[in-house]
Chain A
């Protein structure tokens, strides 16, 4: 009940304060540009239509997860800096409910990112029967990645001494996880494939490519989803166990 009240208020704060709509607008502008380029640019037109959908889907997932992480990374350390966390901690609401409410609010941004991505996937994918597959992949893989990153973002936010530290650490982590997705030959060697599989982001993105571009069945490369699923389970358990202890008035290691 308390978590629902907090989630409702956090969502209102996110979407009525202008932060949520602005981030979503910037996200839609980016997707528009990428979709336009994928559809019209001569060089990019060498892409097969499935690859165009795959490109836009990967960007949609990557940026959607980034936005979710940014909101999560601000959720506790930001409130601490704005002086509003103390009044929340002074209510009888459990720390777990506070964490859950904030997690739901952060995930609402991924929900919006997913909805915004739908028309772009439809425009690029119509005629080759990949739209449904792309939407489902975005929903499953994107949600798993967004949830794990949101949980990690909240943990970082609760632990960080300042909001700047929280945002910087979260963005660095995401960059470190996403960078290997830009190495195309990585999965061709056995070591490279192992690295792809270990990193939940590269594994998820690679799985999307296999299903969408190479036409593999959903079950054929399911093993690539092990690390994203493990990541979300570990992050959620860590948040559930550590959250109540680290959501407090002062951040930083050894505080309080």
Chain B
């Protein structure tokens, strides 16, 4: 059983009369990647800022790697954070930037430099170590930010929207890094994002916030199965020349309705999707793709946040 690295109890934050975070409690374990989800203004960034001691909580407490929230400097020594809108000193090189942060975490000049070189290699920036940050692309800066978050070998890493504004290749690189951090280092990663497919790819559990409150938490499968809409409809994609035959096969099944649009068949059945799938495959029709409505995390997310504005 992996050890507990992060435990929040009744964490709350008020800005004047406005409640940003309301009694959030959760536990995270070694090597776990937790997806922190929620529409804009749900309290994700505020939660991360409280857990990283940048904002003092109005109520509740938390521990990071056994260090209580009453010791913020001790917590900061055990966490790494990539803030949502991280800025970088553009005239510094990546190597200088990481070396400086290593020194702020108490490493000697040589240790900090060695750590910086190693981390730049791990995030794929070794060949740009001596380039000024101003010349880095957005994806490179995000990878540099992740390297900075790892400079103190943290127990918990908070990544706030790490793939924001990145192209698909850049997003994939970041997600690969997130997986590496959790699996190779055994670090707990708290990943705040709006991009739900990436949560399904890398997160072992999710915490969905809405209006500052936790509306659901658990593994991706649990959240999807317990909270998603009923699975009585779905979409099948077949080769265009097979569409009429597939529609005919499906219409022969009792209680099934079929709508055809180009090469996609939208089917509805009170008995679920299994019989429809079997019928199509038994007819020797090539199935290009199949998606059940309500089976995705985004369906659960929208259901629980009442169509939130993500």
- Residue in chain B with minimal CB distance to A91: B104
Contact with B along A12-31 (1 / 0, CB 8 A): 01001110000000000000
Interface status of A84 (Cβ within 8 A of chain B): yes
Interface status of B3 (Cβ within 8 A of chain A): no
Contact with B along A152-178 (1 / 0, CB 8 A): 000000000000000000000000000
Interface status of A45 (Cβ within 8 A of chain B): no
Q: Indicate if the CB atoms of B91 and A86 lie closer than 8 Å.
A: no
Question: Which of B53, B87, B106 is A84 in contact with, Cβ under 8 Å?
Answer: B87
Interface status of A223 (Cβ within 8 A of chain B): no
Q: Indicate if the CB atoms of A86 and B148 lie closer than 8 Å.
A: no
Interface status of B286 (Cβ within 8 A of chain A): no
Question: Which of A79, A82, A94, A249 is B73 in contact with, Cβ under 8 Å?
Answer: A94
Chain A nearest Cβ from B84, distance in angstroms: 9
Sorting the interface of chain A by its residue count into under 10, 10 to 19, 20 to 34 or 35 or more gives 20 to 34
Q: Which of B75-83, B273-281, B291-299 lies at the interface?
A: B75-83
Chain A nearest Cβ from B93, distance in angstroms: 11
Q: Cα distance A91–B76 when bound, in Å?
A: 6
Question: Which of B74, B77, B87, B92 is A83 in contact with, Cβ under 8 Å?
Answer: B87
Q: Indicate if the CB atoms of A86 and B86 lie closer than 8 Å.
A: yes
Main secondary structure of the interface of B (DSSP, over half): loop
- Residue in chain A with minimal CB distance to B112: A5
Those of A207-256 within 8 Å (CB) of chain B: 248-249, 256
Q: Indicate if the CB atoms of A17 and B104 lie closer than 8 Å.
A: no
Chain B nearest Cβ from A63, distance in angstroms: 25
Q: Indicate if the CB atoms of B100 and A86 lie closer than 8 Å.
A: no
Interface status of A92 (Cβ within 8 A of chain B): yes
Given A13-B91, A87-B86, 10 new contacts (CB under 8 A): A83-B85, A87-B81, A87-B83, A88-B104, A90-B52, A90-B79, A91-B101, A92-B74, A92-B105, A93-B104
Q: Cα distance A87–B104 when bound, in Å?
A: 11
Sorting the interface of chain B by its residue count into under 10, 10 to 19, 20 to 34 or 35 or more gives 20 to 34
Interface status of B54 (Cβ within 8 A of chain A): yes
Contact with A along B216-252 (1 / 0, CB 8 A): 0000000000000000000000000000000000000
Most central of A2, A6, A17, A90 by chain B CB within 10 Å: A90
Q: Indicate if the CB atoms of B89 and A5 lie closer than 8 Å.
A: no
Interface status of B103 (Cβ within 8 A of chain A): yes
Q: Which residues of A contact B79 (CB under 8 A)?
A: 90
Known contacts A249-B49, A249-B54; A84 and B88 CB within 8 A of each other: yes
Q: Cα distance A86–B101 when bound, in Å?
A: 12
Most central of B54, B55, B77 by chain A CB within 10 Å: B54
- Residue in chain A with minimal CB distance to B104: A91
Q: Cα distance A6–B89 when bound, in Å?
A: 14
Q: Which residues of B contact A16 (CB under 8 A)?
A: 91
Q: Indicate if the CB atoms of B83 and A5 lie closer than 8 Å.
A: no
Q: Which residues of B contact A88 (CB under 8 A)?
A: 104
Interface status of A89 (Cβ within 8 A of chain B): yes
Interface status of A41 (Cβ within 8 A of chain B): no
